[in-house]
Structure 1
């Protein structure tokens, strides 16, 4: 090496020739980038350097451990990561790490003694140091910002109540699509789907109930049975989608620990219809949904029929054309709400597709990249009584369900007439579906007995291929490559690619 005579310390730049001083300056800065603390160990405060290096090694080890835990037990990891206290601690760690790493870079530049190198090298090393600080500390501060946004969303949306375990080995979650637009009085729950998932295998069933279902007799012992012992039976004035508003208007008659009487009343109504105990609900507001779709960058849908934007009391301002569409919030909301030239069941099908598209397309990458935008609107879009402590368990179960088998049944015509039906038949179909009966509605047996071999059966039921994670509702064509689709005898209504 090229040393000057009389040098006594390798930490002293005077020991080097000008050429090696330049190399030394670059080495100290780049060491701080790849191994924080190495520069201090080599040329500065060794205690500080050892602390920084050990901290960096610990962080890498924890990241690797988290990756291993995710592969072995994702639910356990998600349960920790989703906890507000953990997210708060992670924000603090990101901020402290950013400040500490920035200090190490500045200290490394001080140790480089740039005054002992040429002006060109001095400016270039300083510029690279600043860029490294932006890359490292800036990334950590961005992580802190996104984590804080996630923590805000968790605290805003998810309830702090006690978690509830599976009932008879299943989680039953009511999915509600509400529509409380300016042209409506109160909130109407026009989309009602009950997801029933096997807690061990993830095998799932999705049941859809018509908004105009009548004659609901509540289960004995329920709050609604106490309030309505004769049931929700008053003809067209007592439809399933009106129970939420009734519960909200009579909140003082519900137990004090019920935070949303409307949702509780709707849950008890669907429990009576399905015969299942419902642990949780999640309600998506279709008006705020427009902002949410824009926040996640839009939704991909396959439109089966030309759909007007407008109609009724307003003029038609445009059309949503058939085929694959990438919709922003404005078009997705119109697609979900449009009534012109369509039946209630067509509208239900479109709303189900829109909600399913949101669930399928909210992948971890989208959530991370758009966390701030999602957090800003989530409180006005999603309401649920799922506690944050159950997010890990339910998140792990959702991943199993996504990759497993799913059967869908819609309790709409022609399977049942919502205004005149046998409640026990609905219970039987639900029980057969979750038991794995390949023909829970009896549609295939009826077709066989009558000699009908139509390639497009009209029964509102569908079944996925095991392990495909895909489901077809109603009479979608065989062999479809859609993750979720809804059809009727006239053809495809909509699908999620």
Structure 2
């Protein structure tokens, strides 16, 4: 083999121009096709190993891309389990090491002392930057994968998936009134989100916490105790017999009503609230998510704040009496951090519970709109840390991929809001539950117009 036939493997070492050009080629090839510099100019055995790992990675990327285009839910499901994420972490750690070794070997093959003195610093610097990019990205990816695995294990349960009911998934969302300035927890925000399992169309049903005479289905253990509604005849076991008191009563007075709640990733009080929400709406609820106020605050901060249109000045209270104003959130478009978004959602001074429900829904919709791949990936560590503040959820890991894909569809459609408030013909202090169930059914299955005869 002549020198001219293989200038990469057998260069003219006496020519600084040739060696410099060869060095640039090797450095770029190592970045574009790791392993190729070794095949062309070094240890062919190491090169074949490097090329094999590179081609294997490309093949995996192509398979992942095709799967994402044809069946995104399958890809989301695969990458939303702890075991898969640990495998991904191990693979990325392996590539971080391989690329580090290949880059160092490429720098050896370059033979810097034979290149032009003016180019040596640039060649070495570019090699270091590309090595940091390749190996550093893989190592950081491995770190994110292990973090995500820990996040999933700490928040989501390992249990069987539930099928849709009448083509829908119904989720109970509870906002726990606990935070850095409060002891204990009680549901302050109560909402049922019903999602079409095919289209992703979501109906958000707001339930005022002060609803009374809450009915329970016949199969609920609370039905035997309150056959005519919660506290409707002889009162209840706590001071105020309202919807959000059901959680407190069952947790403190009668947790034995739901003996299997804890083993199934729930709490007796949460299961009581599920029964109450089912009795009110007429929907069967498969899952619940409960997040406390501190988790809400941290999540907003992790997302970099949230932008909303504030219709009127909203006060921030100076103390728990909710009477003294410390500062105001001015009307107009505002970008709120977690602290101000939390107070926007919970402020009571001069407003009603129904105003608060509207503001809570506004914040929820704004947060949903900000959940996009770029935002989540760029701030994943902060979002994962905030996610661990989710107090309870029984959504199983096996359903996460499906729900991620469903949420993608949901974001593309307007959320249908149904608030059980006086403006919608509902008096929470004297509720007509038959009418409430009619409102729910009209929202999730609106009547279709019959075609005209002839």
TM-score exceeds 0.5:
yes
Pair 1:173 & 2:183 matched: no
- Do the aligned partners of residues 3 and 56 (structure 1) sit closer, same or farther apart at CA in structure 2, a change above 3 Å counting? closer
| SS of the residue 2:160 aligns to | coil
C-alpha displacement at 1:302, in angstroms?
A: 0.8
Q: CA offsets, 1:97-122, max 9 Å, x none?
A: 11110110100111222233344433
| Distance in 1 between residues matched to 2:7 and 2:325, nearest whole Å | 83
Q: Name which of 162, 173, 183 aligns with 1:164.
A: 162
Tell me if structure 2 keeps the 8 A contact 1:9–1:15. Answer: no
Match of 2:135? 137
Tell me if structure 1 keeps the 8 A contact 2:179–2:292. Answer: no
Match of 1:53? 51
Tell me if structure 2 keeps the 8 A contact 1:285–1:382. Answer: yes
| SS of the residue 1:232 aligns to | coil
C-alpha displacement at 1:183, in angstroms?
A: 5.7
Match of 1:333? 342
430-439 vs 261-270, which moves further? 430-439
| SS of the residue 1:326 aligns to | strand
Alignment of 1:233-248 (within 5 A): 233=231, 234=235, 237-248=240-251
Pair 1:374 & 2:383 matched: yes
- Do the aligned partners of residues 227 and 145 (structure 1) sit closer, same or farther apart at CA in structure 2, a change above 3 Å counting? farther
Tell me if structure 2 keeps the 8 A contact 1:190–1:348. Answer: no
C-alpha displacement at 1:231, in angstroms?
A: 3.8
Q: CA offsets, 1:148-179, max 9 Å, x none?
A: 22222211211112111111211111111121
Q: Name which of 350, 359, 365 aligns with 2:374.
A: 365
Question: Could you say what the CA RMSD is over the residues aligned between the two structures, in angstroms?
Answer: 2.5
| Distance in 1 between residues matched to 2:444 and 2:7, nearest whole Å | 76
Alignment of 1:53-452 (within 5 A): 53-181=51-179, 184=182, 186-226=184-224, 228-229=226-227, 231-233=229-231, 234=235, 237-249=240-252, 250-256=254-260, 257-258=263-264, 259-310=266-317, 312=321, 315-381=324-390, 383-404=392-413, 406-414=415-423, 415-437=425-447
- Do the aligned partners of residues 424 and 350 (structure 1) sit closer, same or farther apart at CA in structure 2, a change above 3 Å counting? same
Greater RCO structure (CA 8 Å; 6+ sep): 2
| Distance in 2 between residues matched to 1:417 and 1:194, nearest whole Å | 18
Size of the aligned set, in residue pairs, is 437
Q: CA offsets, 1:72-111, max 9 Å, x none?
A: 2221111111111111111111111111101101001112
| Distance in 2 between residues matched to 1:372 and 1:365, nearest whole Å | 13
Q: CA offsets, 1:113-149, max 9 Å, x none?
A: 2233344433332222111111211122222222222
Tell me if structure 1 keeps the 8 A contact 2:289–2:390. Answer: no
- Do the aligned partners of residues 403 and 244 (structure 1) sit closer, same or farther apart at CA in structure 2, a change above 3 Å counting? same
Tell me if structure 2 keeps the 8 A contact 1:286–1:381. Answer: no
Unaligned runs of 5+ in 2: 450-454
Tell me if structure 2 keeps the 8 A contact 1:339–1:347. Answer: yes
| Distance in 1 between residues matched to 2:6 and 2:156, nearest whole Å | 63
Structure 2-normalised TM-score? 0.89
| Distance in 1 between residues matched to 2:111 and 2:121, nearest whole Å | 12
